[in-house]
Each structure stands twice: as structure tokens, then as C-alpha cells.
């Protein structure tokens, strides 16, 4: 994130340069520049929320996966992984999430059982 609080446009990099690659949809920038609260959307030190409530384009790290959706762990929804909602249809359900580089679509019913933290660091970075 750069100084304006916007996500930087990614540059195409060679594999041996370590860089965060975040893909941003043009609509997402608009959503991010209109915060819901005076201090900004996530002012606290630790902001844990269900994955279904994470705004589009906002990246977070998975903290817990409820047992009822434990099957999702096999797909890669493991605590410590970075996840970012990227697309959403008109109805808002299902949404497409960028899971550590791969896109996966989930319904709200499943996403609500996964908790994410906006401010933690992932266990390993997508190089």
C-alpha cells in the first residue's frame, strides 16, 4: 500500500525479484477511497472478520477455518494464507477470491465460516 492508502498498480517483475503482486480491478479503487468510518475502515490493530465481509480488493490473512467447512482447507484455505476478494456479481454471492494467487469462487454460506485478519502477515509470501 502506498502513502495515499491506495493499492499500487503492479509492475511486471522477473521471478527472482521479490515483489508483492496484487491485481486490482478498477472498480475496487472507488470502493476503497470511500471509507465507512471517520478513521478509515480498519483502524484497529487487529481486525478479525468473516471472509464474506471482507471488501473487494482488500487483502487479509486467514486466521481460523470452522470445522463445518474443513474441506476447504484441502483447497488451500489454510490459516496463514493471504486471501483477497476480487470479483463479485450483482447479487454479491458467490464471490471470487484470490487465494494466494489462485482464484476460487465461494458462496457466502461457506465464506462466513472463515475468519480473516486484515492486519496480520501471511505465513509465507507469494513470490
Binding site for another protein (CB under 8 A): 12-16, 21, 23, 25, 27, 68, 71-76, 78-80, 86-91, 93-94, 96, 100-107, 109-110, 123-124, 126-127
- Nearer Cβ to another protein (60/111): 111
Q: Grid coordinates standing for 48?
A: 478479525
Task: Give the angle 45-19-39 at the CA atoms, nearest 5°.
Answer: 25
Rounded distance between C-alpha atoms, residue 127 and residue 44, angstroms: 28
- CA distances to 14, 57, 61, 63, 121 from 81, in Å: 23, 16, 5, 8, 9
Cis link prior to 89 (omega < 30° from 0)? no
Question: Judged by CB, which is closer to another protein: 11, or 34?
Answer: 11
| CB 4 to another protein: min, Å | 23
Q: Report, in Å, the least distance between residue 38 CB and another protein.
A: 29
Q: How far is the CB of 22 from another protein (least distance, A)?
A: 10
Min CB(69)–another protein separation in Å: 8
Contact of 110 with 69, CB cutoff 8 Å:
yes
Q: CB nearer to another protein: give 43 or 70.
A: 70
43 versus 105: smaller Cβ distance to another protein? 105
Amino acid at each position: 500500500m502506498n502513502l495515499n492508502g491506495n493499492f499500487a498498480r503492479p509492475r511486471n517483475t522477473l521471478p527472482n525479484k521479490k515483489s508483492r503482486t496484487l491485481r486490482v480491478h478498477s472498480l475496487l479503487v472507488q470502493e476503497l477511497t470511500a471509507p465507512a468510518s471517520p478513521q478509515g475502515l480498519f483502524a484497529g490493530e487487529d481486525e478479525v472478520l468473516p471472509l464474506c465481509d471482507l471488501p473487494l480488493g482488500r487483502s487479509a490473512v486467514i486466521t481460523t477455518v470452522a470445522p463445518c467447512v474443513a474441506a476447504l482447507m484441502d483447497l488451500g484455505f489454510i490459516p496463514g494464507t493471504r486471501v483477497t476478494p476480487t470479483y463479485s456479481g450483482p447479487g454479491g454471492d458467490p464471490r471470487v477470491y484470490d487465494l494466494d494467487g489462485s482464484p476460487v469462487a465461494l458462496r457466502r454460506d461457506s465464506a462466513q465460516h472463515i475468519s480473516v485478519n486484515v492486519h496480520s502477515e501471511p505465513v509465507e509470501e507469494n513470490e
